[in-house]
A = this chain, B = another copy of it.
Amino acid sequence: MTGIGLDRLSLNQATVKHLGLAEAVALCARHDIPAIGLWRDRVAETGLDSAVAAVRAAGLHVSSLCRGGFFTQADADGRAAARADNRAAVAEAAELGADTLVLVCGGLVPGSRDLGLARRMVADAIGDLVPVAQRLGVRLGIEALHPMFCADRCVIASLGEAADLALTFPADVVGVVVDTYHVWWDARLSAEIARAAGRIVSYQVCDWVLPLPADVLLGRGHLGDGEIDFGPVSAAVTAAGYDGYVEVEIFNAGVWAAPPDRTAAIVRERFGSVLGW
């Protein structure tokens, strides 16, 4: 076959934001979706043990846990809290058997415009987390966010930068997340994906839909509804050796308002037609 088969489809829970964990798990089972990306708030709401039991009972694989990160706190208390929270996230990812803990690293340090400082803090915080992750067998996934989120959410703003950072740590513990929405625009994307070979721990997909909505966090769409050419990105990720699950993760108020079964059906249909190139 060519392309990516439906046996590699994972539904990121954020795509059906209004469902609790048990409902999202049941949705995946109903639609023959073999894996799920979980969010920590929904895991906490359910309870970790119940969440683990639910995904196991359904025979679902957990392709990612979202998310750790937000390392760039201004004060020592904030940094200590972030550190503790990230250690807890690693432990949760281990219990859930998640392929990766996704890290959204944080924006500029409050009160500072120093990008270099924020980036050094991210590197230091990941360094702190690595022994914990290594001990528990969890892989950390550094996610480059779109540069429009650089100031307030993630100073790691390109895949190349995420790869540079990941490559300073052991390959079995730190990798990168490739999310089409965040990196599709980059003229260096194919080269950077190739450079990240062996380090790609998650491939997330959704489309870039115009016009951007008032809240740019929510401008994502179903595969095929927007501007992204998924073929070359998928081919590069595949050539770099990634053969894990591919998560559909869509933040979109319209998608959230749709009936979840309808959303799951579209996710499945588009995955086949757009990624099975």
Check: A56 CB closer than 8 A to any chain B CB: no
Check: A229 CB closer than 8 A to any chain B CB: yes
Return A276 CB to nearest CB of chain B, in Å: 17
Q: A190-214: which residues lie under 8 A (CB-CB) from chain B?
A: 208, 210-212, 214
Check: A240 CB closer than 8 A to any chain B CB: no
Chain A at the B interface: mostly helix, strand, loop or mixed? loop
Check: A269 CB closer than 8 A to any chain B CB: no
Q: What residues of B have a CB within 8 angstroms of the CB of A113 in the complex?
A: 227-229
**Could you tell me how many residues of chain A have their Cβ less than 8 Å away from some Cβ of chain B?**
32
Q: What residues of B have a CB within 8 angstroms of the CB of A210 in the complex?
A: 151-152
Interface string of A137-160 (1 = CB under 8 A from B): 000000000111011100101101
Q: Would you list 23 pairs from A and B whose C-beta atoms are within 8 A, ordered by A residue?
A: A108-B227, A114-B229, A115-B184, A115-B187, A115-B229, A146-B147, A147-B148, A147-B185, A148-B148, A148-B212, A148-B216, A150-B184, A150-B185, A151-B185, A151-B208, A151-B226, A152-B211, A157-B186, A157-B187, A158-B158, A164-B187, A214-B214, A216-B216
Residues on A facing B (Cβ under 8 Å)? 108, 113-115, 119, 146-148, 150-152, 155, 157-158, 160-161, 164, 184-188, 208, 210-212, 214, 216, 226-229
Other 6 A-B pairs with CB < 8 A, given A114-B229, A115-B185, A152-B210: A115-B184, A150-B184, A151-B208, A158-B187, A158-B188, A212-B216
